[in-house]
């Protein structure tokens, strides 16, 4: 057990170091911060020029904080596939995956190490993003419950996106194909959330099927939306945990069978 943990930590450190020497990682971090800061400034400008808009929200915390975090979730749809596409697919293409698999380390340690390393990078991104709405605390009262719940939700969304991205990267040796597959899966999750708003109840064997409710329970974005509104629920957190564990387990199975299952 201790050996697995030490190997996981070593792989995580290696992946984190590799990310921070990569121009792509720094570029994505800069672009994400720029877009988020731009939306933050636009939200503050809108409040200054049109203070009546606050009446449609539960204060500044929801208008600025939750609104900005919801936008970041959309940005992550593009950012995460670009980060995860290199984790396994590029290593297969260069042949370095064979050296990793030949080392005395389990597939679960490999997958967890890469997951932890990438989450370390995204956690730094989250801290920089969180500094923007929290800076308002110096000038106006904030509902810290809403802010904290939204940040937890965003971190869980990051974990879910990374788990899907790692699985997509484990299925192929082409980084571009891995990125496209991951993006397609994430967009499908977003469309599932859109489907939850449709009041469509087809009848099957005389029983109406509530498609909207079914999609709402399955949608990752739907569970995050509740957290963004400050409605912290253990059921939502449990959903994310099951979601992440399931895709990480699938990735472990794929890596474990790497020599028997040829890649695309």
Q: What integer is the mean pLDDT of 24-49?
A: 85
pLDDT value of position 222: 76
Q: 113-142 pLDDT, tens per residue?
A: 999 999 999 999 999 998 888 887 777 777
pLDDT bucket at 180, cuts 50 / 70 / 90: very high
pTM score of the predicted model: 0.86
To the nearest 10°, report the CA torsion of 251, 254, 259, 264. Answer: -100
Nearest to 44 by CA among 128, 151, 133: 133
Question: At how many degrees (to 10) do helices 2-20 and 107-134 cross?
Answer: 50
Q: What integer is the mean pLDDT of 93-107?
A: 75
Determine contact, residues 79/131, Cβ cutoff 8 Å. Answer: no
Is the model more confident about 4 or about 255?
255
Q: What is the mean pLDDT of the chain?
A: 81
pLDDT bucket at 205, cuts 50 / 70 / 90: low
pLDDT value of position 34: 92
Cα(175)–Cα(91) distance, integer angstroms: 9
Determine contact, residues 166/84, Cβ cutoff 8 Å. Answer: yes
Q: What integer is the mean pLDDT of 35-54?
A: 76
Cα(10)–Cα(13) distance, integer angstroms: 5
pLDDT value of position 262: 44
Cα(120)–Cα(245) distance, integer angstroms: 17
pLDDT greater than 50 at residue 263: no
pLDDT value of position 91: 79
pLDDT value of position 206: 58
197-201, 226-230, 258-262: range with lowest mean pLDDT: 258-262
């Amino acid at each position: 057990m201790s050996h697995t943990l030490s190997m996981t930590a070593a792989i995580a450190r290696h992946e984190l170091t590799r990310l921070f020497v990569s121009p792509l990682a720094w570029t994505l971090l800069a672009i994400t911060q720029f877009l988020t800061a731009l939306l933050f400034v636009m939200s503050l400008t809108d409040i200054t020029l049109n203070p009546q808009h606050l009446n449609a929200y539960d204060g500044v915390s929801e208008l600025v904080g939750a609104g900005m975090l919801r936008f970041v979730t959309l940005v992550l749809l593009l950012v995460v596939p670009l980060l995860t596409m290199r984790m396994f697919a590029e290593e297969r293409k260069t042949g370095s995956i064979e050296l990793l698999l030949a080392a005395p380390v389990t597939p679960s340690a490999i997958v967890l190490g890469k997951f932890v390393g990438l989450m370390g990078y995204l956690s730094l991104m989250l801290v920089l993003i969180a500094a923007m709405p929290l800076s308002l605390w110096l000038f106006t009262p904030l509902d810290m419950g809403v802010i904290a719940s939204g940040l937890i939700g965003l971190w869980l969304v990051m974990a879910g996106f990374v788990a899907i991205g790692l699985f997509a990267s484990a299925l192929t040796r082409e980084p571009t194909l891995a990125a496209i597959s991951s993006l397609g899966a994430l967009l499908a999750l977003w469309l599932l959330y859109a489907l939850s708003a449709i009041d469509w109840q087809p009848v099957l064997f005389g029983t109406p099927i509530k498609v909207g409710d079914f999609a709402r329970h399955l949608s990752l974005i739907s569970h995050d939306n509740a957290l963004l509104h400050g409605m912290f629920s253990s059921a939502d957190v449990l959903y994310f945990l099951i979601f992440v564990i399931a895709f990480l387990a699938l990735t472990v199975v794929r890596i474990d069978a790497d020599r028997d299952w040829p890649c695309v």
